[in-house]
């Protein structure tokens, strides 16, 4: 077996240029497929329902974007429970959005800031992946949240957003409101999200109470109403144990007389994200069923061409091998093995290199979709690369290997004579 493996390696070394070009082409195409699958994998994980972490979004039923009155919040946090048999949420988080420019005379992307207004202490349990940080990052996040609870205008800003704004932790700045127009608020940066919370690189958190207080003070001072100031809440997120509790909770909220004007609807977080991304579904479909298969087909074709050339060049050698006792099965295995070696090595190197390059060097794939700004390569990509390389190499080389298996000694040597 070892001698057979050595023979395959020697065959690959015969034409280093062709082997190298085939491997490089394979690595490039594996890189592209890995990137596409990483985006699709992330989207799939965002839209799937989590059995032990079932989140529910309560939004306005007949309007987009959703606008809920402040009066709804306190009862929604309890799931509109009124009786002992009603389901109560295990946790909640209220979401509102505030944004504006740091310089009204120069409204560039760098000067625009979008903030999530919420109860800061709810972020670690209600925002995905923040509950999976290590002990040091969790302590750092909790310390920043404690500062936000003590200081109304404190904000946590993602490191990418902070860099874009050219600001540092400890700086103060004023946002001139565009969401809630004319509401200008001053903030102080108390920290950033930890680097491990990669998806929050461009996310910013502020105190919900600070936003509501700002609206009240502005209206009291100017005697003018801010547009949507009476219904500033985008949605309330609730957490329940399972789907059964979600269905009960949804029924008791939707049927509650507390929410008639405006009416509300409940949907799972996965369903809400799927609805929000509906306009992207055609692109996702094309990436999944057209782009990725086309790349895989191209990779198989590259392997097929390279192995076919190699087999044609070695017909005499294959004939000699058969004279020496090699069976058609040996020949088939040898050719498939050579292609498999190229595919396995190039697939593993490409996937590993892509993982390190994207996650550690580039800080994610900059591919903005909705509120998802960057995508990262999952650890699954390491076996994706091996599987892509191995699968396409076997598929692409099977026909050339079968042709090599069928080389007839008499036909070859008759031409030599």
Q: Write out pLDDT tens, residues 7-46.
A: 788 778 888 888 899 999 999 999 999 988 888 888 877 7
Does residue 336 lie within any of the structural domains?
Answer: yes
pLDDT in tens, 87-114: 999 999 999 999 999 998 888 888 999 9
Does residue 348 lie within any of the structural domains?
Answer: yes
Do 252 and 294 share a structural domain?
no
Q: What is the mean pLDDT of the chain?
A: 88
Per-residue confidence band for 274, with pLDDT thresholds at 50, 70 and 90: low
Do 402 and 324 share a structural domain?
yes
Do 410 and 316 share a structural domain?
yes
State the pLDDT at residue 226. Answer: 92
pLDDT in tens, 308-337: 998 888 888 888 888 888 888 888 989 999
Task: Give long-range contacts, CB 8 A cutoff, 24+ apart: 78-83.
Answer: 79/238, 79/249, 79/252, 79/253, 80/252, 80/253, 80/256, 80/258, 80/259, 81/252, 82/252, 82/256
State the pLDDT at residue 155. Answer: 98
Does residue 267 lie within any of the structural domains?
Answer: no
Evaluate if residue 49 carries a pLDDT over 60: no
Do 294 and 159 share a structural domain?
no
pLDDT in tens, 333-363: 899 999 999 999 999 999 999 999 888 888 7
Does residue 58 lie within any of the structural domains?
Answer: no
State the pLDDT at residue 283. Answer: 83
What lies within 8 Å, CB to CB, of 282 at 6+ separation is: none
For 110, the domain range is 63-262
Does residue 172 lie within any of the structural domains?
Answer: yes
User: What is the pTM (predicted TM-score) of this model?
Assistant: 0.73
* CA-to-CA separations, 257 to 77, 123, 245, in angstroms, rounded: 16, 30, 20
Do 204 and 99 share a structural domain?
yes
Backbone angles phi, psi at 169, to 5 degrees: -60, 135
Do 258 and 284 share a structural domain?
no
Do 67 and 120 share a structural domain?
yes
Do 214 and 161 share a structural domain?
yes
Per-residue confidence band for 276, with pLDDT thresholds at 50, 70 and 90: low
Does residue 269 lie within any of the structural domains?
Answer: no
Residues β-bridged to residue 188:
154, 172
Domains held by the chain: number? 2
Choosing from 233, 262, 291, the residue where a domain stops is: 262
């Amino acid at each position: 077996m070892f001698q057979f493996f050595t023979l395959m390696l020697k065959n690959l070394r015969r034409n280093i240029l062709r082997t190298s070009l085939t491997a490089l082409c394979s690595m490039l195409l594996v890189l592209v497929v890995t990137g596409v699958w990483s985006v699709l994998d992330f989207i799939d994980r965002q839209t799937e329902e989590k059995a032990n972490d079932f989140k529910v979004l309560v939004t306005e039923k007949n309007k987009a974007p959703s606008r809920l009155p402040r009066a709804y919040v306190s009862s929604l946090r309890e799931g509109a429970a009124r009786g002992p048999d009603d389901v109560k949420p295990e946790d909640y988080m209220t979401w509102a959005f505030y944004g504006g420019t740091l310089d009204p005379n120069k409204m560039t992307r760098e000067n625009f800031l979008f903030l999530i207004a919420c109860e800061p202490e709810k972020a670690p349990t209600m925002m995905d992946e923040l509950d999976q940080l290590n002990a040091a990052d969790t302590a750092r996040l909790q310390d920043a949240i404690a500062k936000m609870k003590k200081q109304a205008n404190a904000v946590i800003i993602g490191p990418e957003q902070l860099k874009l704004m050219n600001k540092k932790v400890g700086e103060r700045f004023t946002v001139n409101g565009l969401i809630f127009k004319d509401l200008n608020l001053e903030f102080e940066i108390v920290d950033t999200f930890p680097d491990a919370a990669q998806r929050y690189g461009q996310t910013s958190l502020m105190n919900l109470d600070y936003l509501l207080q700002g609206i009240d003070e502005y209206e009291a001072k100017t005697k003018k109403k801010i547009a949507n100031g009476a219904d500033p809440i985008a949605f309330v997120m609730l957490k329940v144990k399972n789907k059964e509790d979600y269905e009960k909770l949804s029924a008791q909220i939707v049927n509650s007389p507390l929410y008639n004007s405006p009416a509300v609807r409940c949907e799972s977080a996965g369903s809400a994200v799927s609805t929000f991304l509906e306009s992207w579904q055609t692109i996702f479909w094309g990436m999944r069923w057209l782009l990725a298969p086309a790349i895989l087909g191209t990779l198989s074709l590259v392997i097929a061409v390279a192995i076919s050339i190699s087999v044609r060049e070695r017909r005499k050698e294959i004939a000699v091998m058969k004279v020496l006792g090699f069976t058609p099965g040996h020949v088939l295995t040898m050719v498939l093995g050579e292609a498999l070696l190229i595919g396995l090595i190039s697939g593993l190197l490409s996937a590993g290199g892509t993982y390190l390059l994207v996650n550690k060097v580039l800080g994610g794939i900059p591919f903005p979709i909705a509120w998802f700004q960057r995508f990262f390569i999952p650890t699954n990509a390491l076996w994706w690369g091996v599987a892509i390389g191995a699968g396409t190499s076997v598929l692409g080389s099977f026909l050339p290997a079968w042709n090599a298996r069928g080389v007839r000694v008499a036909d070859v040597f008759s031409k030599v004579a």
